[in-house]
Amino acid sequence: MSAAFLSVGGLSVAYGGTPVLRDVSFDLRPGETLAILGLSGCGKTTLLRALLGLLPPGARVTGTLQIGSGTVALSDRDALRRRLGRDIGFVAQNPFDACAPLRRVRAHLEEAWRAHGLKPDPARIAALCERLALDPAMLDRHSHEWSGGMLQRANIAAAVALAPPVVVADEPTSAVDAETAGSVMDCLRAGAPGTIIVSHDLDLVARSADRVILIEAGRIAAMTTRAGMAADRLPPALRAFRQAGAVAPPSAPKDEVVLQTLGLSVARGERRLIAGLDLQLRRGEILGVAGRSGVGKSTLLAVLAGSLAPEAGAILRGGTARPPHRGEVLSLFQDALSSMNPRWPLFCIVAEPLTVPTRKQPPEARRTATDAALAAFGLSHVPVAARPGTLSTGQGQRATLARASLARPVLILADEPTSALDPRQKALALAGLSRLAREGAAVVLVSHDRPMLDAVCHTVVDVSSGLP
């Protein structure tokens, strides 16, 4: 067995008197991909931030990190940060958030050298582009001109630019389709001798990781190899993790058709993405939209919402070709917390639909309805004065569903609402969408997770081909 070239020993983290991680120890061997699984709040991201020296000053950290022949205390944030890029590369979950929107992607790659006072190496950049199948001409474009999958490759290039022995990645495939996810994982493994990934995707981990660690309540609850990830060999803790994501099939829809598209074609700029799409959606129906990254799924939602004109074809609402009425369509986004006013408390965010003139209710009725909505979506334990910044990703997504239940839209457009959620939070969010459908809303659900769409939707259309 090869000697470990990264070892974490006795890592513990606490905020005030609250422990978050407790005596976590593990090794990473040359050529190995190690996956860290766990439900939201178990301490996965805290673990990664501890290794990178990125925990806030108020965190109390103990333990050691050994890379090669050097050992550093995990409480020494400055020493850990000096190792960023040289000894440990980092790939963030959202490639667009990782790039400065006003700078070109080339500047993002070159920052790997400049952060250490070095001159960028054009030959190294060219070699990385060849290895990771990046078009060098695209480096002189801004991040918004890239697809998510390709921009994640550029982030991997930045992370491995100085040839660190280890790369750590936080949910690097959460926003891409299965084909692109496999490509991203191939690029990660090609970029550095050792890889540590945090993920909620048990199936991806089973295909890509050599070893798996499950974190529960801040401790290592299970550890297994790729062979041990077979369904019939899963350790009990990992089996429970998988079963936490079980979802119920949808209820039967009603007969009333609320949305119909006739020969709909969708374009971005001069590029046609979807052509000749015919759909029919009834009250209570959940329509899944699948397809590879960049084929036009989110653009289709913008057209159905009325915020973008179709290239060709017609959209009928209630049998009439017209734009949507105010409040008729409600959009749910992948990053629910970013769609909220950070200064508003949870109560105001959820109760907002009851403050518009056409549906305005007195304060007491508003409070009763909001409390009932929060309880219905599993948020009764969250203080109504909580700000978005204190909510978990799953809580934020369920808060938007509670708000939708009070808004009572005819059509809900959900763009990857579960991609960053662990199995339990994903199941809760999908149960919330099903509840809204039972209450009469028609739902269009975009996701790169085809098995999930097949489980919760009445019909699934793959816009890569335009065929159900």
Give 138-184 pLDDT, tens digit per residue.
999 999 888 777 888 899 899 999 999 999 998 887 766 677 777 77
232 assigned to some structural domain: yes
Please state, as a whole number, how many other Cβ atoms lie within 10 Å of the Cβ of residue 326: 8
Residues 74, 28 share a domain: yes
Total domain count, the chain: 2
pLDDT(74) > 80: yes
Q: 88 and 230, same structural domain?
A: yes
Residue 405 has pLDDT above 70, yes or no: yes
SS3 of residue 345 by DSSP: coil
Q: Is residue 468 in a domain?
A: no
Which of 245, 268, 286 lies at the terminal end of a domain, its last residue?
A: 245
pLDDT at 2 over 60: no
pLDDT in tens, 324-346: 998 999 999 877 888 899 999 99
pLDDT band of residue 468 (cuts 50, 70, 90) is: very low
What's the rounded mean pLDDT across residues 79-96?
88
CATH code, domain with 44? 3.40.50.300
Helix (H) or strand (E) holding 332: strand 329-332
Q: Does 195 share its domain with 267? A: no
User: How far is C-alpha 274 from the chain's CA centre?
Assistant: 24
Q: Cα 71 from chain centroid?
A: 33
User: Quick one: tokens of 256?
Assistant: 């009333």
| pLDDT value for 353 | 93
Q: Which backbone phi and psi does 371 adopt, to 5 degrees?
A: -60, -40
273 and 234 in a common domain: no
Q: Is 286 a member of any domain?
A: yes
Domain with 447, as residue range(s), is: 257-462
Let me know if residue 280 belongs to a domain: yes
179 and 87 housed in the same domain:
yes
Question: C-alpha distances in angstroms, 40 versus 24, 387, 392?
Answer: 17, 18, 8
Whole-model pTM: value is 0.77
Is the predicted pLDDT of residue 263 greater than 90, yes or no?
A: yes
User: For residue 450, is it within any domain?
Assistant: yes
Span 214-227, mean pLDDT?
88
Residue 251 lies in a domain: no
Q: Do residues 261 and 241 share a domain?
A: no
Domain boundary among 223, 245, 267: 245
CB-CB contact of 417 with 449 (8 Å): no
